[in-house]
Structure 1
Amino acid sequence: PSEVMDMFHREALRIPADATANLKADAVTRTANTDAQEWGDCPRCGQPVRKTGRMWQCSTNKTEKTKDGKWATTAGCGWKMFARIAGKTITDQTARRLLAGQTVTLKGFTSKSGKKFDAAIRIDKERGTAFDFDR
């Protein structure tokens, strides 16, 4: 048993070194390239917008994890636009058009009751995006 435990211990100690040595370079550069891209100006404060994960948000936003495990905005204007709206994924191209001030009509949204619908969306300073049913 002690030999097995020693073997496990040696293997566990190797994991961080192996992970660092085998890190794919494109995983690092892809994130850096996404941050460097021009997405447009924040509709609230005018600062640049960046893409972080599955959302676009103001570059001034800073978040911290609270004691209860949730994330809270601690600085910045707080504007963000999520990539998924009513079951529909917003593409990078659509995000650029929205941030340029355009209203974009998309097909395939899903209502809370499960019905499919088409709608125009636009940037909203308070909620990120909003449906524009007048179009």
Structure 2
Amino acid sequence: TEGERLTDVVEPRLKDVLLTARMEQALSDVEHGKRGPSEVMDMFHREALRIPADATANLKADAVTRTTNTDAQEWGDCPRCGQPVRKTGRMWQCSTNKTEKTKDGKWATTAGCGWKMFARIAGKTITDQTARRLLAGQSVTLKGFTSKSGKKFDAAIRIDKERGTAFDFDR
């Protein structure tokens, strides 16, 4: 969906709770006279001006191309039910999955086993080649994941029947 694509290109630091905490602290400082309102507004304005450039840079670096025959490609068998996996947008999912938009505007799986693997994991884009290796049952080591606290790390990932992928720290 468009919302998922937007969160894919947003700089990880903008999704970090620490940024929200810093912004809340700045507003509290204004409330208690420790900072001037224009200083905080300038800080927020500078932060907002960086968003389009960050999104463009992330989009160019992490773009997952769509082809007209992506659904027809062989990706492997669904780890949950054994049916073929297909790529739809920025995820790989079981070909049995069907979704519908609910009254509150969210998408819900209405049929199929529900297995899916997203193209971004901890700030790292999964390539088609990596997806094929994972769906073939391999564990794949990748560099450049970003933790929730913003720290970079390298890790192996593998297919998980319940969550799509999982970190494989035994490797």
Asked if TM exceeds 0.5, the reply is yes
CA-to-aligned-CA distance 1:44-85 (integer Å, 9 cap, x gap): 000000000000000000000000000000000000000000
Q: Which runs of no fewer than 5 residues in structure 1 stay unpaired?
A: none
Residue 11 (structure 1) shift: 39
73 and 134 in structure 1: CA distance in 2 versus 1, 3 angstrom threshold: same
TM-score, scaled to structure 1: 0.78
- Decide which moves more: 28-37 or 60-69: 28-37
Residue 24 (structure 1) shift: 21
132 and 63 in structure 1: CA distance in 2 versus 1, 3 angstrom threshold: same
Structure 2 Cα separation of the partners of residues 127 and 32 of structure 1: 27
> Contact (CA 8 Å) 2:64, 2:90: kept in 1 or not?
no
76 and 8 in structure 1: CA distance in 2 versus 1, 3 angstrom threshold: same
Residue 134 (structure 1) shift: 1.3
Do structure 1's residue 23 and structure 2's residue 50 form an aligned pair?
A: no
TM-score, scaled to structure 2: 0.61
Question: CA-atom RMSD, angstroms?
Answer: 9.6
- Decide which moves more: 29-38 or 16-25: 16-25
Structure 1 Cα separation of the partners of residues 51 and 149 of structure 2: 47
Counterpart of 2:87 in 1: which secondary structure? strand
Structure 2 Cα separation of the partners of residues 25 and 14 of structure 1: 16
CA-to-aligned-CA distance 1:29-53 (integer Å, 9 cap, x gap): 9643101000000000000000000
Displacement over 2 Å in runs of 4+ = 1-32
Q: Which runs of no fewer than 5 residues in structure 2 stay unpaired?
A: 1-36
Paired residues in the alignment total: 135
Structure 2 Cα separation of the partners of residues 12 and 84 of structure 1: 23
Judging by fraction of residues, say which structure has more strand.
1
Judging by fraction of residues, say which structure has more helix.
2
